[in-house]
Amino acid sequence: MAELLTRSYRGLVIASVERGSLGEELGLQPGDVVLEVNGKRLMDMLDYRFHVTEERVELTVQRGEQTLVFTVQKEPYDLLGIDFENDLADKIHTCNNKCVFCFIHQMPKGMRRSLYLMDDDFRLSFLYGHYVTLTNVTEEEFERILEQKLSPMYVSVHATDPELRGRLLGKREPVPILPILQRLHEGGIDVHAQIVLCPGWNDGEALRQTLYDLAMLHPAVTRQRGGTLSVAIVPVGLTQFRQRLTPLTPPNRAYAQRLIRDVRAMERRFQQRLGTRFAFLSDEWFFLAGQPIPERRYYEDFPQLEDGVGTVRLFLERASRLVRRLPDALPHPVRMTLVTAELPATVIERFAQMLRRVRGLELNVCVVPNRFFGGTISVAGLLTAQDIVDALDRFPAHPTVVLPSICLREGYLFLDDVTVEQFEAQVGRHVLVVEPHPAALWRAIRAMASQEAQLAPLSSRC
């Protein structure tokens, strides 16, 4: 996405053309830039998907200095078999709010430009589950959401009281959200809502009012095709770089315990009225409260997984299933250190304990405090290379260090612009980057054991 910061309209660049597809028959090639479909300028992948479903499709394509037109008659909804390098043909739509809790405003100066991007793009909401405030959507874009049925949308509500929402978004005027949601629902668009909870701001009675207002937009109440289906409640994240920003108070253990109790009471009423818990607390609240992660049934069909609601429960369930299939021993000894942050540390240690039942596997867990961001930041996705290096220097690390892939951007770069290769040189150990999934870690362990087993006879002959 970083390249989108530096360019305006570019069109959709073809990355590949499927063999035997309509696109190949037309003569489309990788590197071609699709500009229009049936005379409609494409702003993104969503435009392409919407317009290419017609029976007659005319593509306007830029190839080098040439502008070409390709026409095909096909069955409705047949696609052309082409993939694109980019999902957006123009810049990411950025945010003009100044939310009191905005993480970007809490970043130190001097980091790479893409880290300071504040997106509020309805297209990324539909494509990737990014939360948007809908304060930056033009009337034309709103009509497009309704026309193309871009459902579900993920919306940052925070509060339904217009004046309170305005203050939270850093506006001088009220910012209503209920009329906007109602219009979406009347057009058949579903919404999953988010509340970033700031103690003393949008909690207590304000939170109760927000949840009940949103519950009244659920299809079980309105009988409309679209509705507000769920609400995620996440704690505000505060860094040490909040100079000259609105003072905010982080939630503590007692606060989290009270919140869980209060929300659980509301959930029971929602269950009776709507047939769903409707309001879901993110995993951080249970860690903060010192309470166990709820069982799977709490999360229903995991409607708010992108907001960290239920990710730990899924991890634990997958870990339990994996452990039942583990062998008694590895073909060759493996010694690894797992890197994690403070928040998920107990979960990762629990999983490591399960894996230690396999003979030949030595596994320990290095828990890395986030000294770079400080404050209440304790998730693995915001660890820097320097913090991990410092923690490993004080830890009895094994020859192989395993990093969760969420520590990296674009697959190879830490937040502090250190590459994996540079990090490996600094720690003086072999580094593996693994998806934060139990099966992915086990595959890495098994592959290393097999590789070592194959190399062992060669080393003995040497």
Check which CATH number belongs to the domain holding 29 and give it. Answer: 2.30.42.10
Q: Is residue 184 part of a domain?
A: yes
Closest Cα partner for 63 from 33, 18, 85?
33
Give pTM, 2 decimals. Answer: 0.87
- Is 98 inside any structural domain? no
Among the candidates 255, 276, 307, a domain finishes at 307
pLDDT score at 127: 77
- Consecutive 10-residue runs of the chain (462 residues): their mean pLDDT? 48 93 93 93 90 92 93 87 88 85 86 74 79 92 93 96 97 96 97 97 98 98 96 96 91 98 96 97 96 95 92 95 94 95 95 95 97 93 95 96 92 91 96 94 93 61 46
The CATH number linked to 278 is: 3.80.30.10
362 shares a domain with 236: no
Residues 72 and 143 in one domain: no
Q: In a 3-state reduction of DSSP, which class is residue 48?
A: helix
Spell out the residues 6+ positions from residue 44 whose beta carbon is closer than 8 angstroms to its own. Answer: 12, 87, 88, 89, 90, 123
Last residue of a domain, one of 51, 84, 117: 84
Q: What's the confidence (pLDDT) of residue 459? A: 47
Whichever domain contains 362, its CATH number is 3.40.50
> What is the structure's pLDDT at 412?
86
Per the structure block, which two tokens stand in for 174? 């009220």
324 and 301 co-located in one domain:
no
Asked if the structure places residue 93 within a domain, the reply is no
How much is the CA Rg of the chain, to the nearest whole Å? 25
Q: Could you tell me the two tokens for 344?
A: 């998920």
| Together in a domain, 274 and 355 | no
Identify whether the C-beta of residue 17 lies closer than 8 Å to the C-beta of residue 82: yes
pLDDT at 115: 72
- Would residue 91 count as lying in a domain? no
Using an 8 Å Cβ cutoff, are 189 and 151 in contact? yes
Residues 353 and 301 in one domain: no
Based on the domain organization, do 347 and 402 belong to the same domain? yes
Same domain, 296 and 332: no
Total domains, the chain: 3
Which residue range forms the structural domain that includes residue 270? 104-307
Q: Which of 255, 285, 307 is the last residue of a domain?
A: 307
The answer to whether the CB of 53 falls within 8 A of the CB of 77 is: yes
- Is 134 within a domain? yes
Q: Positive or negative, the Cα torsion across 185, 118, 107, 389? A: positive
**387 with 395: CB under 8 angstroms?**
no
Cα atoms in the Cβ-side hemisphere of radius 13 Å centred on 327:
12
Residue 4 · residue 92 · CB < 8 Å: yes
Residue 92 covered by a domain: no
302 and 367: one domain? no
Asked if residue 290 and residue 400 are part of one domain, the reply reads no
Specify whether 144 is located in the same domain as 280: yes
Same domain, 123 and 269: yes
Same structural domain, 110 and 134: yes
Cβ-contact 2, 13 below 8 angstroms? no
236 token code pair: 């505000």
E-only strand ranges, 172-252: 191-197, 228-235
